């Protein structure tokens, strides 16, 4: 009997090992096949803990759970045997419970749509799009200074402004997705626009070869470059908010297992972004610096088209959310109705406020909260209507709104203090693509026999994220879960706070490095190695593991049901505002410190300036921002659902 147990254990161990090694390679193929797949990816914390526990546990328990008909389905916080994910599941409801539909607009079958089978294709498309976008972003400062001959301040400001535009346009893309087109078609249309921008940028790189070197940095050349860049920014508007929201839509929030996987999806979505960024920081930057900008821009163009093809290939397995009308209209109705009813007195009992089922509202009503009481006046039923049965349902929504509709506005208002804290955080992290690159240009970039392009140091930023996300998902989350009892390990707000604290450390270290670099530059025979920049990039990456991923999940989870794309666009809007804030601070510091003939803190020759003072300024602002966030998070109240 003992021999049979060990033999069975060995057989299942081989099966688990083979599944883990081949799972990623065959993921996209499985997503297009008809076989059901509900298991998490092999890299997730749930999968890893299951496999290790089953292999190391008693053989009898493994055999019983894997093969006994008496085995029952575990709850979301219990461990599920690995074999559970390797065979079709018959238990539970046949259709999703959140109202999603398939491509034919029929109720979505859980066995043939959504879950990780659909997310493989979304993540694959995101890797291609990220590789293409990062291939332009990572080395753009170098291109503007070396080819268009812009100054350090102008190049850093223009890059920050362009990045801000890339993350501002998602607000428009989210509105179109939630109101008219849906997430899938919004992504398809905007990836196509981004592809046109990539083509324009590639053509602009070839023009100097065709028309002579005098064409370089001419007004026509600059116009062609910025036309391509801002078409890419417009294309980003539909891609960034909708791919993450569409991926989250693939998990049924009413299913305990799928609800846990949704949180894991945001980790691996951010992982995919940075996997593409890693490849661009190494291979594409090298091609641009050593082969030429023509080829260096043509590769991202081809990758954008490939990403579009991968995304469209999954259209039959995606789950689609039904459109619920314009979210901005619903919010505006609450504001107008509250102003119109400002003279009415709020009832002591909130149950007297107007609440009726509506086809535009989610299946679950939102419970009334006591914050922002003024807007409750939008749901006050006038005495003339309360005496007449059914009269309230015929009143214009611009005069009378439901409690759930009022609470949608309150949800958005509660997000803004947290959103404001994220703006300065992203102003700090944008240094990795602007002033950090310029700092590297003033350092010794020889590492052994190699010459390292300054933009390639961002590989440490990307590696920090790629290594940090699996550690967070597979190690930190299970450990924190035992302490906090939260399925996520750390609560969403605590996760954001850790990232903000790490951003303080990143800026302080960058300031110390710059002070030492200036001291070394004053000596005639010494210079500081560019390798000293690596921890700066790594700390920024570690901060983003906690905050950038966390803010996507936080805004998606805490936004109203019909505004999920709008919710994720708020995260991108914070990135945009951070980039614009960085541009404003750079310009303000350059103007304030360069008066009276002084070189200022950020001159073209950094050896004559004090970039370290600029980094210390950001450090101080980050400390204030962290304290503000702690204050806001202690007062934050999450969303509640009415029974």
Instruction: Tell me whether residue 332 is in a domain.
Output: yes
Write phi, then psi, for 636 (nearest 5 degrees): -75, 140
Average pLDDT over residues 153-160: 83
Which among 513, 126, 512, 110 has a CA at the least distance from the CA of 317? 110
Which among 267, 266, 272 has a CA at the least distance from the CA of 249? 266
pLDDT band at 360 (very low <50, low <70, confident <90, very high): very low
Domain of 474 in residue numbering reads as 413-643
Q: Which has more confidence, 327 or 628?
A: 628
For 398-455, write each residue's pLDDT tens digit. Answer: 888 888 888 888 888 888 999 999 999 999 998 888 888 888 888 888 888 888 888 7
Q: In terms of domains, do 585 and 467 share one?
A: yes
Q: In terms of domains, do 335 and 443 share one?
A: no
Domain boundary among 355, 373, 406: 406
For 108-120, write each residue's pLDDT tens digit. Answer: 998 889 888 899 9
- Domain count within the chain: 3
Instruction: Tell me whether residue 370 is in a domain.
Output: yes
Q: In terms of domains, do 459 and 402 share one?
A: no
Q: In terms of domains, do 439 and 555 share one?
A: yes
CA of residue 33 relative to chain centroid, distance: 28
C-alpha 248/C-alpha 518 separation (Å) is 47
Q: What is the CATH number of the domain that holds 282?
A: 1.20.1250.20
C-alpha 334/C-alpha 67 separation (Å) is 56
Least confident among 50-64, 332-346, 473-487, 560-574: 50-64
Q: Dihedral, CA atoms, 472, 473, 476, 481, nearest 10 degrees?
A: 140
Q: Averaging pLDDT over each range in 148-157, 214-223, 291-300, 595-604, which range is the top one?
A: 291-300
pTM: 0.68
At 525 the pLDDT is: 61
pLDDT band at 558 (very low <50, low <70, confident <90, very high): confident
Domain boundary among 278, 295, 323: 323
Task: For the chain, give the mean pLDDT.
Answer: 79
CA of residue 397 relative to chain centroid, distance: 34
Residues in a beta bridge with 444: 529
Instruction: Tell me whether residue 60 is in a domain.
Output: no
For 166-190, write each residue's pLDDT tens digit. Answer: 878 888 888 888 888 999 999 999 9
Q: In terms of domains, do 135 and 263 share one?
A: yes
Least confident among 220-229, 281-290, 560-569: 560-569
Query: Roughly how many angstroms between the first and final C-alpha of the chain, as a whole number?
Result: 53
At 639 the pLDDT is: 65
Q: In terms of domains, do 417 and 317 share one?
A: no
Q: In terms of domains, do 487 and 529 share one?
A: yes
Residue 358: both structure tokens together: 């509506």
Q: In terms of domains, do 540 and 501 share one?
A: yes
Instruction: Tell me whether residue 362 is in a domain.
Output: yes
């Amino acid at each position: 009997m003992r021999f049979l147990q060990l033999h069975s254990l060995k057989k299942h161990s081989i099966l688990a090992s083979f599944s883990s090694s081949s799972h990623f390679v065959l993921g996209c193929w499985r997503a297009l096949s008809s076989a059901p797949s509900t298991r998490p990816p092999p890299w997730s914390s749930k999968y890893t803990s299951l496999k290790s526990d089953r292999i190391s546990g008693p053989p009898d328990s493994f055999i019983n759970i894997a093969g006994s008909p008496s085995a029952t389905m575990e709850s979301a916080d219990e461990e599920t045997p690995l074999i559970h994910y390797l065979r079709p599941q018959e238990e539970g409801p046949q259709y999703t419970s959140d109202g999603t539909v398939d491509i034919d607009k029929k109720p979505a079958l859980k066995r043939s749509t959504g879950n990780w089978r659909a997310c493989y294709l979304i993540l694959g498309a995101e890797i291609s799009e990220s590789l293409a976008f990062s291939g332009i972003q990572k080395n753009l400062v170098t291109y503007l200074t070396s080819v268009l001959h812009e100054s350090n301040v102008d190049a850093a400001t223009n890059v920050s402004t362009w990045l801000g535009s890339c993350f501002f346009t998602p607000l428009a893309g989210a509105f179109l997705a939630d109101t008219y087109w849906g997430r899938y078609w919004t992504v398809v249309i905007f990836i196509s626009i981004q592809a046109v921008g990539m083509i324009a940028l590639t053509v602009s790189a070839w023009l100097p070869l065709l028309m002579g070197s005098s064409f370089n940095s001419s007004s026509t050349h600059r116009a062609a470059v910025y036309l391509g860049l801002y078409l890419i920014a417009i294309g980003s508007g539909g891609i960034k908010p909708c791919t993450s929201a569409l991926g989250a839509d693939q998990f049924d929030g009413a299913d305990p297992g799928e609800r846990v996987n949704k949180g894991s999806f945001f980790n691996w979505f951010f992982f995919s972004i940075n996997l593409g960024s890693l490849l661009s920081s190494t291979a594409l930057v090298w091609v641009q610096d050593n082969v030429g900008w023509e080829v260096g821009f043509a590769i991202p163009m081809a990758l954008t088209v490939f990403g579009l093809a991968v995304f469209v290939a999954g259209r039959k397995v995606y789950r689609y959310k039904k459109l619920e009308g314009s979210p901005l209209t619903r919010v505006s109705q609450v504001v107008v109705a509250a102003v119109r009813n400002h003279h009415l007195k709020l009832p002591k009992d909130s149950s007297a406020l107007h609440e009726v089922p509506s086809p535009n509202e989610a299946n679950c009503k939102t419970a009334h909260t006591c914050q922002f009481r003024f807007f409750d006046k939008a749901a006050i039923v006038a005495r003339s209507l309360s005496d007449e049965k059914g009269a309230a349902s015929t009143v214009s929504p611009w005069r009378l709104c439901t409690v759930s509709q009022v609470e949608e506005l309150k949800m958005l208002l509660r997000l803004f203090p947290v959103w404001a804290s994220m703006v300065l955080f992203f102003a700090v992290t944008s240094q990795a693509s602007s002033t950090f690159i310029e700092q590297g240009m003033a350092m010794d970039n020889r590492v052994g026999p190699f010459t390292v392009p300054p933009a390639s140091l961002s590989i440490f930023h990307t590696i920090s994220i790629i290594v940090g996300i699996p550690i967070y998902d597979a190690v930190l989350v299970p450990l924190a879960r035992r302490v906090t009892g939260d399925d996520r390990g750390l609560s969403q707000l605590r996760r954001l706070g850790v990232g903000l604290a790490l951003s303080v450390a990143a800026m302080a270290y960058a300031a110390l490095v710059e002070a030492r670099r200036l001291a070394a530059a004053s000596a005639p025979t010494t210079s500081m190695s560019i390798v000293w920049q690596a921890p700066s990039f790594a700390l920024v990456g570690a901060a983003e593991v906690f905050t950038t991923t966390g803010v996507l999940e936080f805004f998606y989870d805490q936004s109203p049901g019909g505004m999920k794309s709008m919710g994720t666009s708020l995260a991108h809007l914070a990135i945009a505002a951070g980039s614009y804030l960085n541009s404003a601070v750079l310009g303000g510091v350059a103007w304030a410190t360069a008066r009276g003939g002084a070189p200022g803190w950020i001159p073209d020759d950094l050896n004559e300036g004090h970039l370290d003072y600029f980094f210390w300024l950001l450090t101080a602002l980050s400390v204030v921002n962290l304290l503000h966030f702690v204050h806001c998070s202690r007062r934050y109240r999450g969303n509640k659902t009415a029974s």
